[in-house]
Structure 1
């Protein structure tokens, strides 16, 4: 039996707001951490050995479940159609799509000539990835004349992308490796220039360049530079293709710059940034459309402005406080609005010729609905995707004029799936302050609701991100073994509008955690499960949630699955060299300059509140090249948990040594991480025999 790993202490003290912030493990963060993220072999040997010891300890603890892990992996894989393809998206004389070959980890990208139905491969990610353990392909983007293909590749998970441009017919490389980009690629309509964003030394996207294809990238023109470290910038092309648009902003404020596309160096500000004002713009049919929260419209409205007078905004979609407006698309004849009402997504279609409007409707109690890719401008068809927790993904083309859905694809489950075997419901749970929290619950119809079932409760609750009630075939490996699966739509997301987000951030952050605890208690009180039978799961900022509940309510939870968890919030938010620290002050608070914010954040920071007590069983994961939640956060946390915990429960670290924040990059490699989480859940629930 391998010994429990132990990390040595080396006390570091930060004096702040009249008190000491003590960290016994701060030394494991290297000064050249950016180098380590790009090349993990540069990691301090003592830290590397500790992480390797943790990985070996985890393997030792789970070695008796090797066969079960293989079985679950095969189940997960068996629910994925091996030879699969996306629905082609039409763009002029071609339709573009992707497909997977048998046992392939990565897709091929193809197009069909709409005139002669001839198919050609324009990029094979399997060939491009063969020399790398990690391979993330981003922004595969063809030129408007269909002659060139640009794409970005990250080969270690650090989210530093290299940009390449090829001629499609000859596969000749036109521009090779523009380094250190963010992943986005925008083609100029003249097909000779691309626009892209570069990361600074602290991994912040702050400069936008124009590159003439085939030229030396060293000569690329700087179009825009963001001087404020809290603001990140990205380019886009207006729907009309008349304007280059540049968005810059943080979590609560945005600003746009724009120029005529043929005069892209002459860039000007659309509306100067004002704290807490957000707006998004597009241009079509000689009009600027502006989604914005001005005039107290927290849940957003849509305005319009003429290019000749961009300061004169007129209401187009008037404000409705019960409708959260999320996004829009403008076509030649149609305005498409994506909104959320009563916690469910809707698509509103407005006819630009006669102003008539209608909704695309679905009947399930809870579901996920989204708009998919759109190339063509003069069309009546839009692409939508739909699913629910027990309804596999479905792709439709929707004819806006005929108000008709055209089925294009239904997700196949090769190993078999019968929807009628499962029950899905959404309930409202009273939180600590009587706010009602949406809670999605689904389970096999034969699972008894007598309090005996183990239950996995998932939560996130940050950045205004809504956790969708979408279909995931992976979950049935637990549900079919008697688990109940639940998703807590807690404050900090936007499930119930902008105020839902604002009431779960800054000095309201604890609402996120207390909402989750209320959902867990509801599930116990209503016999879905019992105290000590719940396994909580959350990742990244959801890992912060996992850290809080493990400190404050360990009695409720049998286990915690904390994936790339953001748990060392005080030290991270005081380290302004890290990529996200400055831009995330509006999310968490200004610890450095605001004593009240510091006190509040320290009161819930998981790392700073580890105490001598029993803790649930815990599986903690990380990625060695993760620039968002760096390797030292979960490493320090598990070392401190080991020091303080007073129980004999299982606590393990799984550090992926070949990936970053999102884990393994291949579609099947990723399933190993899912299978690991599931065997942990089954082990601690005494369900390994099933």
Structure 2
């Protein structure tokens, strides 16, 4: 009997084109894959999908097993804790067998206005429930579906919602009368995320330019045609994005313009939606600020978080009717090298401060009922590694504040915090079906020494074996990293991660420079002309795991997505011998090509993150020195699985497609797989069951590549 032949990897045709910048000529054999409409491109992507399916066919039983575990741990019929807004409690429900959530509400009890209805254990509807949106019905005829906005007027009568059915993040917006249940004739097209009501008649929304940059604010009046909408503001500087919002007190509307390093606010009284926005502080290169509205002793104040006086930000105040220069604000929170201030949230009687210290996000609260801002008092928690944040608090005069809390081992909790009494009330804890004991797992922080001596934090989560707090031998491990945009990867609980831990894997997160875990300078020292620190920090974290006996290089898989995918491609080039495999999700691996194209989505705004190679030869050469696609070499690489989406507008599918094609042409060893979702966007497939299946597939590949065994 003849043995079946091993599947053959697709070989992408080479159609060389030359890219010329600053006297540097680069021949690119695979740029033709950028033509999304080409039959040759689509055939190649389908061939890659078929090859990936064949190469991973042996993982199907493991994939099925992990999927069943994820699904089996989730309470499929469930509901969120209701959030009060106006005279209603709003919440979401999920139903077993259905992919999407259901948005609902019930009327608030006038006798107990701040006590949320009790969440039924079986997830059944609350008495008097009104369904606002059943996303399953909206998505029924679409392969992909995503909500972009869901906003109710203060009275609770009208709902504005938007949706995307392609994954390209271009939305249609509709308005629903919640009294009659009917849709109004108003229908807006090609809008961006979000919708902000001003009263009952006006909706403010955003549009994007050809480079997918939100650059315009529009005003729509109910009952009029889309063509009659008014352009309220347009941002012409291509470095800046635009946003629109309103404060909790429903006092002002805000237009926010921001680049990666600079911001600017305009405000308008919400009761005058057809009026003119006025500028608060004119933009100043390198100065970022955020604005909150607060009453102190009955007097209106701007509360401003800014970096005009220090890189880790400060908080200053001034009367609304007497706007002072940023550097002359009355100082409320001084800049501090050990504390990164992230912002404030004001209510009628108190205000919260969010900040980072010791690599952990923290909350503090101050009283506003006197004539002066009261001192901030930190909320304290028992665990070393945790995440806490304000969650679902739209009401200005609330006496209690909704808080979310989780950690690597603690399932997510929803709590009410009574500010006056300083007490917590647990409203709901994420239920892990099938039984879960947090004492079977341990989360700890270790430190890696970077090449320049910097101490880099690494979070490590693992199962405790037979009560022994240290592993008896090295284990397979997954090391995750991101390290861009000052994004912090904070502790979080994951039911899917249990499928790795219970098979003996160690899960670790490298909090590398370029992220925001350790303050603003942590970010500054991992961007622009210091970007290489992100990559060498990650390699140092891998070394630390091995040096401590937690794993070996042959058992270690790296994971990152989007900008974290750039990290994956870079470390594959710099230290391929230190990883058994690399999982790259929508990876930004052809970085230099992309940010040399100002017409592409996000490009110009990205120049303040990575540098501007289009105009600056020095930036060109620096990015060229590490960009993954540019630096592939004839050497052994780890096995690589790249996952992308055809309709992704943030990191185009062409980047991983070119990367995998060139890896096969260049590398002397390694198996390289590309999986392209043909009807999805940057966030991957839609629908929770499809997402669980995707995660199960990726984790099965990780387990197999790391050599983890079934239990």
TM range (shorter): over 0.9
Match of 2:382 among 359, 363, 367: 363
Q: Tell me the equivalent position of 2:313.
A: 300
Q: Cα deviation per residue 1:3-62 (whole Å; 9 max; x = unaligned)?
A: 2101111111122222212211112213xxxxx5xxxxxx21001000000000011011
Q: Is the 8 A contact 2:364 2:379 kept in 1?
A: yes
Q: Tell me the equivalent position of 1:315.
A: 331
Q: Does 1:571 align with 2:602?
A: no
Match of 1:9 among 5, 8, 14: 14
Deviation at 1:249, TM superposition (A): 1.0
Q: Is the 8 A contact 2:364 2:378 kept in 1?
A: yes
Q: Tell me the equivalent position of 1:288.
A: 302
Q: Cα deviation per residue 1:85-113 (whole Å; 9 max; x = unaligned)?
A: 11101123211010101221111101111
**Aligned CA-pair RMSD:** 1.4
Q: Is the 8 A contact 1:451 1:524 kept in 2?
A: no
Secondary structure of the 1:604 match is: coil
Q: Tell me the equivalent position of 2:603.
A: 581
Q: Which structure 2 residues correspond to residues 385-400 of structure 1 after superposition, within 5 A?
A: 385-400=404-419
Deviation at 1:176, TM superposition (A): 4.2
Q: Which structure 2 residues correspond to residues 532-681 of structure 1 after superposition, within 5 A?
A: 532-647=554-669, 649-681=670-702
Q: Is the 8 A contact 1:493 1:501 kept in 2?
A: yes
Q: Tell me the equivalent position of 2:553.
A: 531
> Take 2:26 and 2:100, find their aligned partners in 1: how far apart are those partners?
46
Q: Is the 8 A contact 2:635 2:668 kept in 1?
A: yes
Q: Is the 8 A contact 2:632 2:663 kept in 1?
A: yes
> Take 1:686 and 1:279, find their aligned partners in 2: how far apart are those partners?
48
Q: Which structure 2 residues correspond to residues 111-130 of structure 1 after superposition, within 5 A?
A: 111-115=105-109, 118-130=128-140
Q: Does 1:246 align with 2:260?
A: no
Secondary structure of the 2:526 match is: coil
Secondary structure of the 2:271 match is: helix
Deviation at 1:660, TM superposition (A): 0.9
> Take 1:629 and 1:407, find their aligned partners in 2: how far apart are those partners?
40
Q: Cα deviation per residue 1:639-687 (whole Å; 9 max; x = unaligned)?
A: 000001111x321101011101100121221011111111111222333
Deviation at 1:450, TM superposition (A): 4.8
Select between 259-268 and 284-293 the one with higher mean Cα deviation: 259-268
Deviation at 1:122, TM superposition (A): 1.1
> Take 2:686 and 2:72, find their aligned partners in 1: how far apart are those partners?
19
> Take 1:464 and 1:336, find their aligned partners in 2: how far apart are those partners?
21
Q: Is the 8 A contact 1:293 1:301 kept in 2?
A: yes
Secondary structure of the 1:196 match is: strand
Select between 403-412 and 194-203 the one with higher mean Cα deviation: 194-203
Q: Is the 8 A contact 1:166 1:175 kept in 2?
A: no
Q: Which structure 2 residues correspond to residues 173-252 of structure 1 after superposition, within 5 A?
A: 173-188=183-198, 190-252=199-261
Q: Tell me the equivalent position of 1:46.
A: 40
Secondary structure of the 2:305 match is: strand
Secondary structure of the 1:565 match is: coil
Match of 1:508 among 505, 519, 530: 530
Select between 168-177 and 326-335 the one with higher mean Cα deviation: 168-177
Moved segments of 4+, more than 4 Å: none
Deviation at 1:261, TM superposition (A): 2.3
> Take 1:206 and 1:679, find their aligned partners in 2: how far apart are those partners?
42
Deviation at 1:522, TM superposition (A): 0.7
Q: Cα deviation per residue 1:591-649 (whole Å; 9 max; x = unaligned)?
A: 012111111110000000011000001100100000010011010000000001111x3
Q: Tell me the equivalent position of 2:113.
A: none
- When the two structures are superposed, what TM-score results if normalisation uses the length of structure 2? 0.93
Secondary structure of the 1:209 match is: strand
Q: Tell me the equivalent position of 1:460.
A: 482
Deviation at 1:289, TM superposition (A): 1.2
The runs of 5 or more residues in structure 1 that have no matched partner are 31-35, 37-42
Q: Cα deviation per residue 1:264-287 (whole Å; 9 max; x = unaligned)?
A: 431221111111100011223221
Q: Is the 8 A contact 1:423 1:444 kept in 2?
A: yes
> Take 2:208 and 2:189, find their aligned partners in 1: how far apart are those partners?
9
Q: Which structure 2 residues correspond to residues 94-113 of structure 1 after superposition, within 5 A?
A: 94-113=88-107
Q: Tell me the equivalent position of 1:39.
A: none
Deviation at 1:688, TM superposition (A): 5.5
Q: Does 1:27 align with 2:32?
A: yes
- When the two structures are superposed, what TM-score results if normalisation uses the length of structure 1? 0.96
> Take 1:163 and 1:680, find their aligned partners in 2: how far apart are those partners?
39
Q: Does 1:429 align with 2:465?
A: no
Deviation at 1:182, TM superposition (A): 1.3
Q: Is the 8 A contact 1:68 1:688 kept in 2?
A: no
Secondary structure of the 2:553 match is: coil
Deviation at 1:563, TM superposition (A): 0.4
Change (3 A) 1:595 1:98: same
> Take 2:313 and 2:270, find their aligned partners in 1: how far apart are those partners?
28
> Take 1:381 and 1:463, find their aligned partners in 2: how far apart are those partners?
33
Q: Tell me the equivalent position of 1:328.
A: 344
> Take 1:689 and 1:468, find their aligned partners in 2: how far apart are those partners?
29
Q: Is the 8 A contact 2:503 2:710 kept in 1?
A: no
Secondary structure of the 1:326 match is: strand
Match of 1:258 among 260, 267, 277: 267
> Take 1:399 and 1:138, find their aligned partners in 2: how far apart are those partners?
32
Secondary structure of the 2:280 match is: strand
Q: Tell me the equivalent position of 2:82.
A: 88
> Take 1:470 and 1:505, find their aligned partners in 2: how far apart are those partners?
25
> Take 2:660 and 2:197, find their aligned partners in 1: how far apart are those partners?
46
Change (3 A) 1:6 1:176: farther
Q: Is the 8 A contact 2:503 2:709 kept in 1?
A: no
Q: Cα deviation per residue 1:345-399 (whole Å; 9 max; x = unaligned)?
A: 1111000124143111111111111110112111221111111111110110101
Q: Tell me the equivalent position of 1:62.
A: 56
Q: Does 1:687 align with 2:701?
A: no
> Take 2:59 and 2:596, find their aligned partners in 1: how far apart are those partners?
41
The runs of 5 or more residues in structure 2 that have no matched partner are 1-5, 111-126
Q: Tell me the equivalent position of 2:120.
A: none
Deviation at 1:175, TM superposition (A): 4.2
Q: Which structure 2 residues correspond to residues 372-521 of structure 1 after superposition, within 5 A?
A: 372-446=391-465, 449-521=471-543
Paired residue total? 676
Q: Is the 8 A contact 2:207 2:215 kept in 1?
A: yes
